[in-house]
Amino acid sequence: MKDIYLHNTLGNKKEVFIPQRNEDVTMYTCGPTVYNFAHIGNLRAYIFADVLRRTIESTGSRVTQIVNITDVGHLTSDSDTGDDKVEKMAKSQGKSASDITSFYTGAFLKDIQELNIEVAAEYPEHFPKATDYIQEQIDFIKELEEKEFTYKTSDGIYFDTSKFRGYGKLGNIDIEKLKEGARVEKNDEKKNPTDFALWKFSQPDEQRLQEWDSPWGTGFPGWHIECSVMSMEKLGNTIDIHTGGIDHIAIHHNNEIAQSESLTGKDFVKYWLHTDFVNVESGKMAKSGNNFITLETLKENGIHPLAYRYWLLTAHYRSPVSFSYEAVKGAQEAFNALLVHVWQHCVKETGTVIEEWIEDTKKFAYNDLDTPKIIAYIHSKLNTDKPENEARTILEIDNILGLGIKQLIKEYGNIPDTIRERAQKREQFRQEKKWAESDAIRDELKKEGYILMDGEPGTGALIYRPLSAHIFTPPKG
């Protein structure tokens, strides 16, 4: 097996990836908080995790991936204050919490399917919900309490971060700075500004939609505890990889480490990997902001979900990207050109894989997932070998990129008879040198989403439907 090198946020350097067991690599991906649609920034985190998974699988290892569904306890502020996001949305719409969470879980699943993210096929076992693990979270907190890592305040049970040596080791968090920042915050019954809630009490004047009995009184779990609990329940005390966006490093992931390692005395995660942001002109894309773009919005603007995936892969996952429709449309054109090439030369299925291309691709992928290099490489290599070999090889490379090329090209040649008949009619005009009539048909077909590629006169034109014609947006309402 070739070595894979990955940038580990823990230690902040590229390291060779050595899983605990080659045959079953364990990976946990912090999943969505299901109170709203995922925006295309959130989706980058899952596309990245998918490419990582595919890269590891390309060595022959199996990967078990868990993506949690946060359906309770994620407050609007990271400092354990503010409203529960799910409660807030449910109340504002006069709905139950489960109406909200099941609707947005469904929307999330549809998004990741459209983005050809492998784990989508593993629904629901690989998508544990926080509310299905309440007892396990209570038991976890009880054990931390027995080991004296916790204390009680008027609003909940907190983890005492001063008792965990090395708190903040992920991303080298500057604790002193955090403390300074906290001085201006009032509230605090917290012993240390970095302490965080494990269990929050329902307040007497509060009518919560989701709450549970616990040894400490009625309430609900804090946000961080679910990830430690579900990771250990599903994958074991120590896992190989944990992924998320960079905004999770400072607080969420350091808290996961503190509570997990305090409980087990073992490493919680061997390799921490984080994706950078998708930004828009006004800054970071955020669910609470008005710069919120969903996959559905992209489709309404003529962008295929897989063209969005392609665009993201033209940047390294550790670089921020600036979203604009022009940029993604440009990427869609380039992707379409690649698809046409593969589609055109895959018809006979006679090609053989060009080993050199596969070797080179793996070299890039195994160097911390250098997808921009892979994409540039493919384009630079086109028309250097037999086109049917190239087509076959690109399909093989796509096992890592996950652009769904095989499926897409099936659609490319899926042309109704009525359209073929009109193309034949045009061919007849061409042979009769009736150019105006022939052009008129070609232009009409183009408007309807069919492109004619003229071959030798008399052989007829190849007809395909370009990427933009495959976007299906269900009617609203």
Binding site for ligand AMP (CB under 6 A): 30, 32-33, 41-42, 44-45, 244-245, 247-248, 275, 277-278, 284-285, 287
What is the spatial distance between Cα 315 and Cα 310, in angstroms, rounded to a whole number?
Answer: 9
Could you tell me which residues are beta bridge partners of residue 456?
none
The angle at the Cα of 332, spanning 328 to 333, to the nearest 5 degrees, equals: 120
Measured from the CB atom, the residue of 127 and 464 that comes closer to ligand AMP is 127
- We find the least distance from the C-beta atom of residue 321 to ligand AMP, in angstroms, to be 8
Size of the site for Zn ion (CB under 5 A): 2
Measured from the CB atom, the residue of 30 and 120 that comes closer to Zn ion is 30
The 353-392 contact track toward Zn ion, x by CB under 5 A, reads ----------------------------------------
284 binds, among ligand AMP, Zn ion, none (CB under 5 to 8 A by kind): ligand AMP
Residue 340: name the closest of 412, 447, 406, 407 by CA: 412
Measured from the CB atom, the residue of 69 and 401 that comes closer to ligand AMP is 69
Measured on CA atoms in the order 317, 318, 322, 327, is the torsion positive or negative?
A: negative
What is the spatial distance between Cα 83 and Cα 80, in angstroms, rounded to a whole number?
Answer: 9
What is the spatial distance between Cα 457 and Cα 296, in angstroms, rounded to a whole number?
Answer: 41
What is the spatial distance between Cα 238 and Cα 397, in angstroms, rounded to a whole number?
Answer: 31
45 binds, among ligand AMP, Zn ion, none (CB under 5 to 8 A by kind): ligand AMP
Measured from the CB atom, the residue of 8 and 33 that comes closer to ligand AMP is 33
Question: Considering the rule CB under 5 A, would residue 97 count as an interface residue with Zn ion?
Answer: no
Measured from the CB atom, the residue of 30 and 295 that comes closer to Zn ion is 30
Residue 262: name the closest of 139, 160, 127 by CA: 160
Residue 5: name the closest of 312, 363, 396, 398 by CA: 363
9 binds, among Zn ion, ligand AMP, none (CB under 5 to 8 A by kind): none
- We find the least distance from the C-beta atom of residue 197 to Zn ion, in angstroms, to be 15
What is the spatial distance between Cα 170 and Cα 136, in angstroms, rounded to a whole number?
Answer: 25
- Residue nearest to ligand AMP as judged by C-beta position: 245
Q: Which residues contact 181 (CB under 8 A, 6 or more apart)?
A: 193
Measured from the CB atom, the residue of 245 and 351 that comes closer to ligand AMP is 245
Pairing mode, if any, of strands 13-16 and 25-29? unpaired
Residue 52: name the closest of 31, 27, 32, 30 by CA: 27
- Subset of residues 27 to 46 that bind Zn ion, contact rule: CB under 5 A: 30
Measured from the CB atom, the residue of 327 and 463 that comes closer to ligand AMP is 327
- We find the least distance from the C-beta atom of residue 409 to ligand AMP, in angstroms, to be 30
Measured from the CB atom, the residue of 51 and 227 that comes closer to Zn ion is 227
Q: Which of 89, 90, 227, 400 binds Zn ion (CB under 5 A)?
A: 227
19 binds, among ligand AMP, Zn ion, none (CB under 5 to 8 A by kind): none
- We find the least distance from the C-beta atom of residue 36 to ligand AMP, in angstroms, to be 8
- We find the least distance from the C-beta atom of residue 279 to ligand AMP, in angstroms, to be 7
User: With helix as H, strand as E and coil as C, how does 164-229 read?
Assistant: CCCCCCCCCCCHHHHHHHHHCCCCCCCCCCCCEEEEEECCCCCCCCCCECCCCCCEEECHHHHHHH
Where does this chain touch Zn ion (CB under 5 A) — which range of 8-16, 24-32, 387-395, 410-418? 24-32
- We find the least distance from the C-beta atom of residue 260 to ligand AMP, in angstroms, to be 18
What is the spatial distance between Cα 439 and Cα 91, in angstroms, rounded to a whole number?
Answer: 58
Alpha helices in 236-368 (DSSP H): 254-264, 295-300, 305-313, 325-346, 355-365
Query: Which residues sit at the interface with Zn ion, rule CB under 5 A?
Result: 30, 227
